[in-house]
Structure 1
Amino acid sequence: MSFFERNGVLIGTYLILAVGFWTIVTIIMPMVFMVDLSFRPKLAPSQVGGPLDEYTLKNYRYFLFGSSTSAESWNTIHIRAFFVTIVASIILTLVNFAICYPIAYYMAQAATLKKLRIVLLLLIIPYWVNDILRAFAFRILLSENGFVNSVLDLMGLAGAPFDFLGANVGLYMALCYSHLLIMIFPLYNAIESQDHNQIEAARDLGAPWWHIHLFVVMPHAKPGIASGMTLCFMLTAGAVATPMVLGGPRSLWFTPIVYDRFYQLFDWPQGAAYAFILLLACIVFVLTVLKISGLKLGEITR
């Protein structure tokens, strides 16, 4: 009743219906369909719903063992790609936090209003360029004949030209850069809400700078840290275009494999199974972050 008193009956009803429609139609229904499809065999359209359309674990078994009939022959390529993606996404999320935390702290607690506007413009303007163009820009900069290798060659550094793309340096740089704002703004919102007098009091009592950040600022900013890390990890692990553009010949990223299941092999049930496995990994990561931070899910959405 208080919700309708604050917003009015008309607006309140509209908000409930709009959110309910959005949640059911664009989130719950596609997920339920994907999970159901992941337990179905690959069939011709005319056979869907027929006697051969039965639930099976074949798609998940393929992820573990490939086309082999032996349970001892692991599908090492896909399993390795999955774990490389998860581990790399966790590391890139931590790197993003290390880069963004000082910027967010400066914006929230140190910058004047004029400097804050300048920093916000410098952060936002580059993101007017879409992900595909940014990925190709990184490819041009880091190619063997690109700008970075040309500079290294002029400096006379040994080893130039360096294969940045083959070593996945370009991929990791682009993924990290693409999600800077996703990390900065939750951190900024959390740190900005802290009373600056608490920081000054800790400084007056002789606390070193690392002690202030570790025991004063970060505990207060835990919801922003958890929110930023969750979003950054999920977007990094689920990136498709950037790994396809910047992945080297030896690159193993899980999302292009999922993409191939759908659009190269046209095996939608297997693609759904692979996508659901990645979704489960993201859910486990979110729950782990909440467990470590001691937060509830609702707290990171404030």
Structure 2
Amino acid sequence: MAALRRLLADFTGRYGVGVTVYVAVALFIWVVLLIILPQLAMIETSFRHNLPPDAVGGPTDVLTLSNYRYFLFGNGEAVNTLDLGVLAKTVLASVFVTLLDIVLCYPIAYILAHSATGLAARLMVIGLIVPFWVNEILRAFAFRVIFGSTGLVNGVGMSLGLWDTPVDFIRADVALYSGLTYTYILLMIFPIYNAVEALDRSQIEAARDMGASWLRVHWRIVLPAAKPGIASGATMVFMLTAGALAAPQILGGPSSLWFTQLVYQWFNEAGNWPRGAAYAAILLVTCLGFVLLMMRLFRVNIGAIGR
């Protein structure tokens, strides 16, 4: 509390009482009203029975673990391998998309921070930002067209003789992973860029003058500086990929099922809000647990990610 009071006093002295009150109210609305309370309501709903409106608040409206038990065992005693498998696939696919984004965005962020200057840097930024003026759903449909049987990828591949008949990239989930990788690419580039930009260029030049290869320079100098940015970008990309709905709905193949689609089905198609809330809570806890585990494994704290 003492640290918080010092922070508030410093902020008030720097920006004035009006700005401080505005920021405090905005943070309260954002964090408490729009994040914490809805999550608590969802968790509380997940422990309820799916009752008709006239039975809510009655003697049968009691707390229950049946919704979580259904996730684990379905309607019987056997393990619910379908839903558990969908959750595992969603987490692994989100990890794969996150790793793809890291591999693609690290060199772009480094070039943007230390190599591109003037017009080249501005063109790179414009080229990264302008495509995202298009709605996410429209971009997903664009990827479906590009990877379709008569799309650009199949057309180029067949014209070059790489394959004779159209490849079903939709069923193979290539379109889905490509679309998700592209959707969150900016959330990976700019955190890495912010971290790498602060790196003193003279350290890289000194290492090069001493004969270090580019691989060694990046491994020993650039990557440690970029680590907080990579952790921040990876956290955002992983969480948003695991929680994506539009892209899996549009780009997923017939046998592909994202865990968010199960949540959507329970809420909207089955009309079972308590079970949908339980599935949403399971996804939230799983993703948070995975992120905290990775932070501990790679020795990155929340303060480094916040910077």
Distance 1:217 1:285 in 2: 26
Structure 1: stretches of 5+ with no match in the other structure: none
* Mapping for residues 191-230 of structure 1, pairs under 5 Å: 191-230=196-235
* Structure 2 counterpart of 1:243: 248
Paired AA for residue 274 in structure 1: Y
Matched, 1:61 2:85: no
Q: Deviations over 1:45-73 (max 9, x none)?
A: 111111111111111111111122x2xx1
* Mapping for residues 1-302 of structure 1, pairs under 5 Å: 1-68=9-76, 70=77, 73-302=78-307
> How far apart are 1:146 and its partner, in Å?
2.1
RMSD over aligned CA atoms reads 1.2
TM-score, with length taken from structure 2: 0.94
Q: What secondary structure does 1:221 align onto?
A: helix
Distance 1:294 1:192 in 2: 22
Distance 2:35 2:26 in 1: 13
Paired AA for residue 23 in structure 1: V
Identity %: 49
When structure 1 is superposed on structure 2, of 93-102 and 284-293 the one drifting more is: 284-293
> How far apart are 1:299 and its partner, in Å?
2.1
When structure 1 is superposed on structure 2, of 213-222 and 79-88 the one drifting more is: 213-222
Paired AA for residue 144 in structure 2: R
> How far apart are 1:159 and its partner, in Å?
4.8
When structure 1 is superposed on structure 2, of 235-244 and 142-151 the one drifting more is: 142-151
Distance 1:148 1:290 in 2: 37
1:152–1:160 Cα contact (<8 Å) kept = no
Q: What secondary structure does 2:240 align onto?
A: helix
Distance 2:222 2:86 in 1: 37
Paired AA for residue 260 in structure 2: T
Distance 1:179 1:27 in 2: 21
Q: What secondary structure does 2:131 align onto?
A: helix
TM-score, with length taken from structure 1: 0.96
Q: What secondary structure does 2:49 align onto?
A: coil
Q: Deviations over 1:118-155 (max 9, x none)?
A: 10001111111111101111111111222222222323
Distance 1:157 1:97 in 2: 28
Q: Could you list the runs of 4 or more consecutive aligned residues of structure 1 that deviate by over 6 angstroms after TM superposition?
A: none
Q: Deviations over 1:228-281 (max 9, x none)?
A: 000010011110000001111111211111111100001111111111111112
Kindly tell me the number of residue pairs found equivalent between the two proteins.
299
Paired AA for residue 65 in structure 1: F
Paired AA for residue 263 in structure 1: N
